[in-house]
Chains A and B, each alone.
Chain A
């Protein structure tokens, strides 16, 4: 007998899941809300090292995560969650509902246990525990929609040998550059995922995504120095974007082979370049779109996440320089130059595109900085209620067994009207900083040091000597206030590995911006 396609489980749950949740809610006292998220993912990947095959895999998995909210008799609310990878079990219609019912029972018991413990503390601490009365979250709207993925070549139908060859050729191309390339890895991946969101409010949403991604890591060395470089290209497309390259104004990429070769040649050049010496004070820096992707990510995007701003991430990735307290935030205040704007926009065709988040809220453009003024946070339904604003559809889990967190989508600086050439030509003495490498930021992201792949001296409007091991060090607000030039060359960069949460979730998104000009200190080798 032919086996059921794992993706049929999505359709099965789409039909049966709503009833399952409603029956559970009716039969369990105090349940006020249930969310169920389910996904099936099929992927192919391959990697090659030093021009030889190293790894390849063809995978298929199914997983779910569910959240139950209960209120006890006194109105104290508790939350429980359960998530699991169930893989092939999802092929079995007789087993799937019982697995989900079992998880609902677990989450319900956890929510009740938590509510019970909370009620005891509220009773004993009195007004000292008043903040535990969480803000009332309005009922979500019921949405029924289905969103399809975009690709020329369906990842599920790709012969894995094609990926092996793609990675191998890229790695061989790098190795052929000679003995100064001490090590290289090239990897290619293509993936199709279909997600289902259901809740007791009546939402039934399916969304499909196709991701294809190429990665390269290279170590170049010579007698004078060494350089480790890595980078990623990716699109919400099929493998065609790696094989043929992708032409778009916003987020173009070369073929995987060209991309790997360019990165390796650059690493060779950098290994032979001198390390940058730290600057004594601030200097003029012109930063390119790739470098600015990491500034947009770390200094605008993360601190614009409302859970971080509301101190929920304080023990892990810190707080936000945009909000000190509910009564003292940067909303409506100047945080940057009047020519600087930044936003998150999941509707754009970037690596962070989606239509609905994992609470079933439609995603929309959120302005973070509007002509220098801080304008707003990415939020969830719960944090929107605390902030007294509308939910903006920004909560997503990296995999469905995880709890959804507030996440960036396509987060970037908006373009201005100067050409990047002009921004450089206007500088007497300064530095052109290209390509992001490693970020380190202060606790509320009020200060940062971000290293670059390449730094060029600018003398009299012209690019001069190339340096490696350079980084930009600045206080965030001062850096933004000093922006005096914004390019017209907006680009988005695929970010494959944004970590957040406990345990860590790794999420894909896009960040970017145009070329910017500001002032900062430069760091070099220690």
Chain B
């Protein structure tokens, strides 16, 4: 990775160079250096395996320039260069940006901020200095913990237990420096966090357990590595002798992972200015209205103290701020960047798109990120709108015990898989399968485990969030595969969710 100082020096030098071009009315130089290091877990008791598939890294350093032409304030060109922070590279990028320039009549100019940002230390923590050896050690610790727990607790039902340990331990580290002709200074940011997700399958008893962790320090990563494998295996071993419920409508407690997954794939994409402009939000025309139960609120906070992701500035250089998305059930905010805020706020059809109550709404561009796979900042990514630490809170939340009692008889769904907007985002219909960590609820208590992958959920987001029977008070950090966001969510009990049996032929 390139040091922050080198990114900062290049941004400053590039800004000085670009300011000498009279043809440019505005410019931006975005430099990013990112490194993801991943130890992928792959243990199978009955199939030859590597245990840890490989320790690998993906590094990307480079910069992106955006130039706005003086001859037309709506003419903007963008280009990026990988690896090479030099004057030659800057010249190549500027030449390409000129050729790539388009006249977009809705382009509002680059981000503007005339006030200096207060200097604050970066939030990268000691994970930024974690060695490859530390990562390897953590990954093998997960495997070791899983094998020891399995050896101690598994009562052989078969000579081929079919133990599978999968997942990964990943450290994501990024640095950025940004120069913008509308800013008084070069702005920088740095962040490092780890995510780890572990799945344990015991195929001989058709059981699956999972555990995950996120955090911002080496100590937290080591501690997590000590328990993740064990927890996943023990959860799997608690299953076995499962039941396969019949198709029908059930009272269901959706645990934190399903809630996070449904939010990630079905709701967050609808809570952006871009989605409303494109008429593809599930809440089209309902800004300011109550869109979910009034006990629920949803926000994104890049400075959340307990969150693993810490962002001081967005990838447009603006202060990264908390965005209240839903307050007491009402849609009050959207994730946005500079372009999308302007586009929606000036749209002739904004009242139709946002709704009567959204006519005068303003959308702070405090979520404009350029992210790559795995959630790190990338030098050549387009500016999108993304969350960081997404928190769902409930007024009047109840204990874990009370939420089961509220359901009485039904299902506890602890893990779902492959959640997709089956009829498009706007329709809000989704489907997914119940893939593990799930149980019958009988007389308000957890009863027999469900066989993994025995049920398919076919539902709409309104059925999940509009009329919950009860919401848990405990907020659980949860990660979703492939998502940039970390979720802090409660379990939610809901009425009448449609479930279809898998493998039950009519």
Interface residues of A (CB under 8 A from B): 3, 46, 52-59, 61-63, 67, 77, 79-91, 106, 109-111, 113-114, 116-118, 120-121, 125, 128-129, 131-135, 160, 164, 182-183, 219, 221, 226-228, 275, 281-282, 310-316, 318, 324-327, 386, 401-403, 437-444, 446-447, 449, 451, 468-469, 471, 473, 475, 478, 499, 502-506, 521, 523, 525-526
Contacts and interface: CB of A to CB of B under 8 A. Distances in A.
Contacts of A67: 54
Contacts of A111: 54-55
Interface of B: 36, 38-62, 78-84, 86, 88-89, 92, 96, 99-106, 132-133, 136-137, 139-140, 143-144, 147-148, 151, 160, 162, 164, 166-168, 170, 197-199, 201, 203, 210, 277-280, 372-374, 380, 382, 417-433, 435, 452-453, 456, 458-460, 463, 481-482, 498, 500, 502-503, 505-506
B423 A88 contact: no
A183 B277 contact: yes
Contacts of B132: 106, 109-110, 113
6 contacts: A80-B54, A117-B137, A117-B140, A228-B424, A311-B42, A451-B423
A402 B78 CA distance: 26
A526 B460 contact: yes
A67 B50 CA distance: 14
Given A87-B83, A88-B82, A316-B166, A121 B50 contact: no
Nearest to B462: A526
Contact of A440 (B133, B420, B460): B420
A386 B102 contact: no
Contacts of B143: 121
A121 B502 contact: no
Contact of A442 (B42, B144, B456): B456
B389 to A, nearest CB: 19
A81 B57 contact: yes
Contact of A59 (B42, B55, B380, B431): B380
Given A439-B420, A526-B498, A314 B166 contact: yes
B47 A311 contact: yes
B430 to A, nearest CB: 8
B106 A56 contact: no
Contact of B502 (A227, A401, A446, A469): A446
B429 A114 contact: no
Contacts of A441: 418, 433
Contacts, number: 324
B500 A473 contact: yes
A442 B426 CA distance: 24
Nearest to B84: A88
Contacts of B460: 526
Contacts of B428: 526
Contacts of B199: 314-315
B147 A121 contact: yes
Contacts of B419: 440
Nearest to A99: B83
A514 B166 CA distance: 37
A474 B60 CA distance: 42
Contacts of B452: 443
B500 A128 contact: no
B100 A160 contact: yes
A471 B422 contact: yes
Nearest to A69: B54
B431 A449 contact: yes
Contact of B503 (A117, A132, A447): A447
Contact of B48 (A62, A135, A505): A135
A67 B56 CA distance: 9
A132 B104 CA distance: 57
A311 B89 contact: no
Contacts of A133: 48
Given A110-B132, A440-B431, A502-B40, A446 B453 contact: yes
A182 B164 CA distance: 48
Nearest to B137: A117
Given A164-B102, A503-B38, A503-B58, A131 B44 contact: yes
Nearest to A120: B140
Contacts of A84: 57-61, 83
Given A80-B56, A131-B45, A219-B280, 11 more contacts: A3-B92, A81-B54, A87-B62, A91-B84, A110-B54, A114-B52, A116-B136, A183-B277, A228-B427, A325-B203, A438-B423
Given A228-B425, A312-B166, A55 B58 contact: no
Contact of B88 (A88, A311, A318): A88
